[in-house]
Amino acid sequence: MADHACSPDVAVRSHATPPRLSDEGGRTVVWLGGENDLATSGALADALAAGMSADLADVVVDLRRVTFLDAATIGVLVRGRNMLDSEGRRLTLRSPSRPAGRMLALCELTVLVEPSRNAERCRHPDQDPRRRRS
């Protein structure tokens, strides 16, 4: 079972919600929620394939409502990124919940996360370029 206590802004779900697709500013957005694991990775792969074939837009995967990600889900995201890269397109991840962010960090995939509007506020003081070192 996923660790729901670490992400108070995420509604507790017992399973994944089916991925949804939308168009946003000329990009395809895949919305994920709940627990995403081997049992749900096929639905994610299908949603990514549909999003990639819909047009020649970049693809964003929104992770704000995700309560759990496993290696199978990460594998689908990496394969999607590699396919889009080969076509000169991008796959980015948006607004990962705390559990999703931890898994992305463990897999060294935080480079795929879009900067948020409040990224300055969330930056660790040691990473702030405005801070002078003495």
Using one digit for the tens of pLDDT, what is the confidence trace for 36-81? Answer: 999 999 999 999 999 999 888 999 999 999 999 999 999 999 999 9
Our CA dihedral for 30, 71, 94, 57, rounded to 10 degrees, sits at: -50
Which strand ranges, in their side-by-side order, compose the sheet holding 17-24?
17-24, 27-36, 59-69, 91-94
pLDDT digits (tens, 9 = 90+) for 95-117: 999 999 999 999 999 999 998 75
Contact by Cβ (8 Å): 19, 31: yes
Q: Where are the domains of the chain?
A: 17-114
pTM value is 0.75
The pLDDT value recorded for residue 117 is 54
Q: Which CATH architecture has domain 17-114?
A: 2-Layer Sandwich (3.30)
Residue 133 clears pLDDT 80, i.e. is over it: no
- Name the E strands within the chain: 17-24, 27-36, 59-69, 91-94
Give the HSE-up count for residue 32: Cα atoms under 13 Å, Cβ half-sphere.
Answer: 33
